[in-house]
Amino acid sequence: MRVLLADDERAIAITLADDLKRAGYSVAVANDGEEAREKFKAGEFDVVVSDIKMPGVTGMELLEEIRASGAPTEVILITGYGTIENAVNAMRKGAFDYVLKPFNNEEILEKLRKIQEFRRLREEVTELREELGLRKGLENLIGRSQAMLKVIDRIRTVAQRDARVLITGESGTGKERVARAIHDISGRAEGPFVPLACAAIPSTLLEDEIFGHEKGAFTDAKERKAGRFELADGGTLFLDDIDDMPLETQVKLLRVLQENVVEPLGSRAPVPVDVRVIAATKVDLQDAVDDGEFREDLYFRLNVVPIDLPPLRERDGDVPLLVEHFIGRFGGEVDYTVEPEVVAELCTYRWPGNVRELENAVERAIALASSDNVLTRDLLLEGALRRRRKTGTDGPEGGPLLTLREVVRAAEAAAIRRVLKATNGHRANAAKILGISRKNLWEKMKDYGID
């Protein structure tokens, strides 16, 4: 640590400085209060050790100036005129500790060690709080697939930079959850998070919802209404389905993004706002721009940092994690189970409705589960089975229908290959992870043609 030692008794200053240097501290010495003040202003110190009675500037005055500066410098005061009242006064004004003359230099060294330990613990607490904040902000983003890890990494990077974000992805991929996660781990986390689904509000009312109106602006405007921008001041505004916003509303939104002011309907004066805008779309906005359905200048304003959410069918290995998560959310304290072959079939289904469809499927299965608390294939895949009966596929992009045996075999083979790759081909370790014997693993590898 960097220590500033201020004492007008040169013998004390020299011997104490020598001992501090031998202990590994960087030490600057001031022979009076005025010199200590100038050295403190000129440099950065972790600790100031100061005599109280000094010519010019006293140690107590030095303490007050250090505290007023806002510097994270700890102060240890030394005096030969100690009283309980002086000690209490020094601690009240922010001194770390108080030492009476005559003292052993080891006393000062011990107090410096306490300061080091105090700072280390404080840094650890700060780091833990930051990490806890990140975990809390990202707790609803479930997934360990490479596709989702890339998304989470992008969220961590962009959250602290206050840049506008455009989230793209199919319906049901969790765009609002990503927007909320960005808000929750950003510097705006203490501010409001205000979502608005542009597709859910009639185009004639959308402008009023976003920008608000003044009392008397139109016939039914009996009182002032703050728009979503004003409600989100100091926080984040999430505009979902931005592709459904009418062109005339896009023009007004562009002005807000450019000038950081909104003009409520009927207002004569613009209202300044401090809002981070995150938008989401289920279509390719560049195509919408090319078709004249979306303003190009607004597209570039919104698309500062793009985040593309993968569909669930491209998130290899995430379905079991999501099933477990939704069971925990909807199942309360009941221990619901899903048979391995059913999980395997859930993994092969293409989930055209993405995470939202899987979430609904688990919630429905729990609501209809029998007393044995087993979530069956018929319950979890009710929508899929209905779609297969009607169309013969899992959806618009569905592949050919498979028997349950074919599904299980494909899932087993994929699981074995994945574990063997993770264990660098070590069969004993792979068998242990898979929960089967080495002989059983060898037989399955032979059956599936795995080298």
Report the largest interatomic distance among the alpha carbons of the chain, rounded to a whole angstrom.
Answer: 96
Percent of the chain with pLDDT over 90: 44
Asked if 257 and 352 sit in the same domain, the reply is no
In a domain, 126, yes or no: no
Q: Is 48 left (phi over 0), alpha (psi -120 to 50) or beta?
A: beta
Q: Does residue 396 have a pLDDT over 50?
A: no
Q: What value does the mean pLDDT take over residues 321-347?
A: 90
CATH of residue 84: 3.40.50.2300
Residues 343 and 371 in one domain: yes
For residue 377, the one-letter residue type is R
**327 lies in the same domain as 400:** yes
* Type and span of the H or E element at 146: helix 146-159
> How many DSSP H helices and E strands does the chain contain?
20, 14
How many domains in the chain?
Answer: 3
Kindly report which listed range (131-140, 185-194, 240-249, 394-403) carries the lowest average pLDDT score.
394-403
Please give the residue range of the domain that contains residue 42. Answer: 2-120
Cα 323 from Cα 329, distance rounded (Å): 10
166 pairs with which residues across the strands? 279, 306
Question: Is-cis flag, bond preceding 306, omega within 30?
Answer: no
Task: Give the end of a domain, one of 262, 284, 310.
Answer: 310
User: In 3D, which of 237, 9, 14, 18 has the Cα closest to residue 109?
Assistant: 18
Kindly tell me if the per-residue pLDDT of 126 is higher than 70. no
Lowest mean pLDDT segment, chosen from 90-104, 173-187, 369-383: 90-104
- Is pLDDT of 45 > 80? yes
Residue 32 domain flag: yes
- Pair 246, 318 in one domain: no
| Residue 47 clears pLDDT 90, i.e. is over it | yes
The string of pLDDT tens digits covering residues 418-429 is 899 888 888 888
In whole angstroms, how large is the CA radius of gyration of the chain?
33
- Write down the H helix ranges in 234-339: 247-259, 285-290, 296-302, 318-330
Claim to verify: residue 321 and residue 413 sit in the same structural domain: yes
pLDDT at 402 over 80: no
User: Where do we find the tokens 């700060």?
Assistant: 126
Is residue 385 a part of any domain in this protein? yes
CA–CA separation, 20 and 112 (whole Å): 9
pLDDT value of position 70: 86
Helix (H) or strand (E) holding 207: helix 203-211
Q: Which pLDDT value is given to residue 178?
A: 95
Chain mean pLDDT for the chain: 87
289 and 321 share one domain: no
Nearest to 8 by CA among 46, 52, 38, 47: 52
pLDDT tens, residue by residue, 211-260:
988 887 777 778 888 899 999 999 999 999 999 999 999 999 999 999 99
> Do 266 and 339 belong to one domain?
no
132 inside domain:
no
Domain boundary pick from 310, 342, 376: 310
Over range 404-410, report the average pLDDT.
71
Whole-angstrom distance, CA of residue 68 vs CA of residue 64: 6
How many CB atoms are located within 10 Å of the residue 288 CB?
A: 17
Q: Which of 353, 364, 357, 341 is nearest to 411 (CA)?
A: 341
Domain co-membership, 83 together with 205: no
Q: Does the pLDDT at position 375 exceed 50?
A: yes
Listed residue (46, 41, 39) closest to 6, CA to CA: 39
Do 306 and 343 lie in one domain? The reply is: no
- pLDDT, one tens digit per residue, over 141-176 is 888 889 998 999 999 899 988 899 999 999 999 999
pLDDT of residue 133: 44
Per-residue pLDDT, 290: 92
For position 253, which CATH number holds? 3.40.50.300
Euclidean distance between CA atoms 6 and 35, whole angstroms: 8
Whether 344 and 422 share a structural domain: yes
**78 and 157: one domain?**
no
What is the per-residue pLDDT for 175?
95
Is the pTM here over 0.85, yes or no?
Answer: no
- Residue 69: CB atoms within 10 Å: 11
Please check whether residue 133 lies inside any domain of the structure.
no
Residue 129 is predicted with a pLDDT of 52
Q: Which residues contact 356 (CB under 8 A, 6 or more apart)?
A: 171, 172, 174
